[in-house]
Amino acid sequence: MKYVGLDLGSVTCGVSKSDTGRLAQPVRTIRFRPDDYDEAIDKILEYLKEENPDLIVMGYPLLENDDEGPRAALSREVAEILEQESGIKTVLQDERNTTKDSEAFLIAANVSRKKRKKVIDQQAAVRILQYYLDKNTDD
C-alpha cells in the first residue's frame, strides 16, 4: 500500500510518503498564496494524480484539550474535499507537537536555520505519516 502524509499550513503544505507502510520519507513542500486553500487543494490534487497513493494521512491540529479549533476544522474540510475530488480515502491524524518535534530533531542534527525553514513542513509531514503508520500497520 502507498501512503501520502500532508501537513497543511497557511502558505505551505509539507508532503511525505511511504511506499512500504513502514517508513515515511520527506517528498516536497507545496507552496501557495497565503490562505488560498483552493490553490493548495489544486496543487495537492495534481501531486496525488502523479503519486496515486492508496491512502492520504492529513495532519489534524487539535487543541490541547482535544477540541477542534479553526485550524483543525480547516484541515478536516480540506481532507474531505481531497477525498471527494481524488477518490482516495483520507484519514485525519492528530498532529499536535509535530512541528515542534521536527524543529528539535533538525536542530539536534545541526541543520542550519535557513535549511530548517525549507524542510520543516516536510519533516512535520513525515512525523504525521509515521505516527499513523506506527499505530495502524503491522510489522
pLDDT mean over 70-75: 94
d(CA 73, CA 76): 5
Whole-number Å distance between alpha carbons of 88 and 20: 17
Residues 6+ apart with CB under 8 A from 71: 61
Residue 119 in this model has a pLDDT that exceeds 80: no
Mean pLDDT of 19-40: 94
Domain count, the chain: 1
pLDDT tens for 35-63 read: 999 999 999 999 999 999 999 999 999 88
- Residue 65's domain comprises 3-136
The answer to whether residues 21 and 129 touch, using CB atoms and an 8 Å cutoff, is: no
CATH number (domain holding residue 77)? 3.30.420.140
What does the pLDDT read at residue 74? 96
DSSP string, 13-82: EEEEEESSSS--EEEEEEE-STT-HHHHHHHHHHHHHHH--SEEEEEE---TTS---HHHHHHHHHHHHH
Question: Among 29, 10, 31, 24, which residue's Cα sits nearest to residue 57?
Answer: 24
* pLDDT at 27 > cutoff 80: yes
